[in-house]
Amino acid sequence: MSNREVMDVCVVGFGAIGALYAYALHKTNKVRITAVCRSNYDVLQEHGLDIESKILGHYTSWKPYRAVRTVEEAADRSYAYIVCAFKCISDITTTPALLSPLLSRLSADPPTSTTTFVLLQNGIGIEDDLLEALSKISAPTVVISGCCWVDTTAVDGGKKITQHGNETLVLGYHRPASGPSASVVPEQIAKDSLDTLIDMLRAAGSNAEAAPDADIARWRKVLWNASFSTLCTLTRAHVGDVLAQPNSRQALRDIMTEVLTVARASLTPSPAVDESLSDGVIDLILTNENPKSVFRPSMLVDLDCGRPMEVEAIVGGVLRRARVHGVPTPKLDLIYAGLLVIQKGLINRRRD
Ligand SMILES: CC(C)(CO)[C@@H](O)C(=O)[O-]
């Protein structure tokens, strides 16, 4: 972490997740937030944002230090943290392409202090292309994955965000990809950057915690997304509805079993893998869900709003790992095929 009194933090994507954690960081008085609001700039400038959060409290008309419409505008300075809270939809654009003005600046004018990228996004392998792009830049960088377990929604035309129930944010850093000009930061710097972020979020009221292994945390999270998010989306049903039917409950179990097999084949065997990704985790996930839950996973909310969904990150990412390791995934293949048909329609309508 730099010695600056106030850190500059750029949050790219100011939907519910981005705004919630931006507000948490702002509450510490240690950061200045630059919010890149690609679709909700006018609403934010005119009304500010009302926050109604169980963990962060209530606030009316909050405005971050500054809001900009594009990543280009945000690239006028360097940042201690660049929080990626946009949906990872590689069939529309990749993370390095979306962040290219910030990456170009890092390359042309490398700061001496570390820049940490924080990926608050769902999926498997979503960090790969960013790590690859950063390996060609000499500036010192760290990539952190954040797995969010939180029910937060933008309501009232984006003027308000609500957050109910429990919240957990599991954060861990990735080992950097090596490259000819990569400035591979010592592991201690990655740890410091992670600890600083977690300390700030916890001070604000979040239940942020460090993952001993970012990859295991991602697989643990995708167990939920690849099963609940996809089945709820294909059936347009609440979490409680897919739990209630014996057939769909069994389908959730079958999908999670496939994901677990791929996870174990992809990860280096370790006691942590055995513990976090044991067969018992499926029962734990199923029994932890409220059978009466009316929760709509974000993939279903995207479909309802006519927005492209995180199919590639959530299902495609698992399938690509499965193919590398020769793991058959008949259930996930079918889910993927169905979702891709819907996704194509969503992307085509968006282009019209
Ligand atoms: C798992 C989840 C409900 C937690 O916030 C979220 O990832 C979602 O809906 O995609």
Looking at every residue in the chain, the average pLDDT score rounds to 95
Ranges assigned E (strand) in the chain:
7-12, 31-36, 49-53, 57-62, 66-68, 81-84, 115-119, 141-155, 160-173, 208-210
CA angle 81, 110, 34 (to 5 degrees): 30
Atom index in ligand 1 nearest the CA of residue 148 equals: 5
**Pocket lined around ligand 1, Cβ cut-off 6 Å:** 122, 148-150, 224-225, 229, 297-298
| pLDDT over 90 (residue 30) | yes
pLDDT tens digit sequence for 102-145: 999 999 999 999 999 999 999 999 999 999 999 999 999 999 99
Checking 156-160 for CB contacts under 8 A at 24+ apart, the result is: 156/50, 157/43, 158/40, 158/43, 158/44, 159/43, 159/47, 159/49, 159/50, 160/49, 160/50, 160/51, 160/52
| pLDDT over 90 (residue 48) | yes
pLDDT score recorded for residue 100: 98
Q: How confident is the model at residue 1 (pLDDT cuts 50, 70, 90)?
A: very low
User: 7-211 and 215-349: same fold?
Assistant: no
Q: Quote the CATH superfamily of domain 215-349.
A: N-(1-d-carboxylethyl)-l-norvaline Dehydrogenase; domain 2 (1.10.1040.10)
Asked if 145 and 218 count as a contact pair (C-beta separation under 8 A), the reply is yes
What's the average model confidence in pLDDT over 261-276?
A: 96
Q: How confident is the model at residue 208 (pLDDT cuts 50, 70, 90)?
A: very high
CATH ID of 7-211, from 3.60.15.10, 3.10.20.600, 3.30.360.10, 3.40.50.720: 3.40.50.720
- Ligand 1 mean position to 261 CA, how many Å? 22
In terms of Cβ atoms closer than 10 Å to its own Cβ (0-12, 13-18, 19+), residue 94 is middle
What's the average model confidence in pLDDT over 237-264?
A: 97
The percent of residues in the chain predicted with pLDDT above 90, rounded, is: 93
pLDDT tens digit sequence for 285-324: 999 999 999 999 999 999 999 999 999 999 999 999 999 9
Q: How confident is the model at residue 183 (pLDDT cuts 50, 70, 90)?
A: low
Please state the length of the chain.
352
Atom index in ligand 1 nearest the CA of residue 221 equals: 1
Domain boundary assignment for the chain: 7-211, 215-349
DSSP-derived 3-state class of residue 188: helix
| pLDDT over 90 (residue 184) | no
Tell me the two tokens of residue 206. Answer: 């979040």
**Residue from 77, 66, 78 nearest 41 by CA:** 66
Neighbouring residues of 82: CB distance < 8 A, sequence distance ≥ 6: 9, 10, 12, 99, 102, 115, 116, 117, 118
The sign of the CA dihedral 250, 334, 312, 151 is negative
- ipTM confidence: 0.93
Whole-model pTM: value is 0.95
Given ligand 1 and candidates 88, 148, 252, 302, which is best to mutate, with the most ligand atoms within 8 Å of its CB? 148
pLDDT tens digit sequence for 55-75: 999 999 999 999 999 999 999
pLDDT tens digit sequence for 93-102: 999 999 999 9
Q: Which helix (H) or strand (E) holds 17?
A: helix 16-27
Atom index in ligand 1 nearest the CA of residue 150 equals: 5
C-alpha 97/C-alpha 92 separation (Å) is 10
